């Protein structure tokens, strides 16, 4: 099993939520949610963050956003998937940053439910 880029996981060594940036074999590169320095974590030291853990950390709080009615979300997600499928890591990372920034600003900070 591998974690996809952008997913939130828990570094069980420290008990903190981190975001997957890249993975190669059993090497996983992560960073703090929202950015910052990246570091390597052994695959065996990670597990998926639960919804409750993400909510507690202020990531994607329940009821504050909905992708289903936002016209920008599907466009950004489609661009991210296409970049990932094309193997262009730089484009994939750029689009992922745009997608996460959109979610943070429009759906979390502004509280837009559309």
pLDDT tens for residues 16-43?
A: 999 999 988 888 999 988 788 999 999 9
Question: Burial level of 20, CB count in 10 A (0-12/13-18/19+)?
Answer: buried
Q: Which of 48-52, 84-88, 105-109 has the lowest mean pLDDT?
A: 105-109
User: Which of residues 66 and 17 earns the better pLDDT score?
Assistant: 17
DSSP-H helix ranges across the chain: 51-56, 72-86, 89-102
What is the chain's mean pLDDT, rounded? 82
């Amino acid at each position: 099993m591998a974690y996809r880029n952008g997913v939130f996981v828990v570094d069980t060594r420290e008990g903190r939520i981190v975001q997957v940036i890249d993975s190669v074999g059993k090497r996983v590169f992560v960073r703090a949610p929202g950015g910052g320095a990246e570091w390597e974590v052994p695959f065996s030291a990670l597990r998926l963050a639960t919804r409750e853990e993400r909510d507690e950390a202020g990531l994607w709080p329940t009821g504050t956003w909905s992708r289903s009615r936002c016209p920008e979300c599907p466009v950004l997600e489609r661009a991210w998937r296409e970049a990932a499928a094309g193997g262009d890591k730089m484009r994939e990372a750029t689009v992922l940053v745009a997608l996460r920034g959109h979610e943070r600003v429009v759906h979390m900070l502004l509280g837009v439910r559309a």
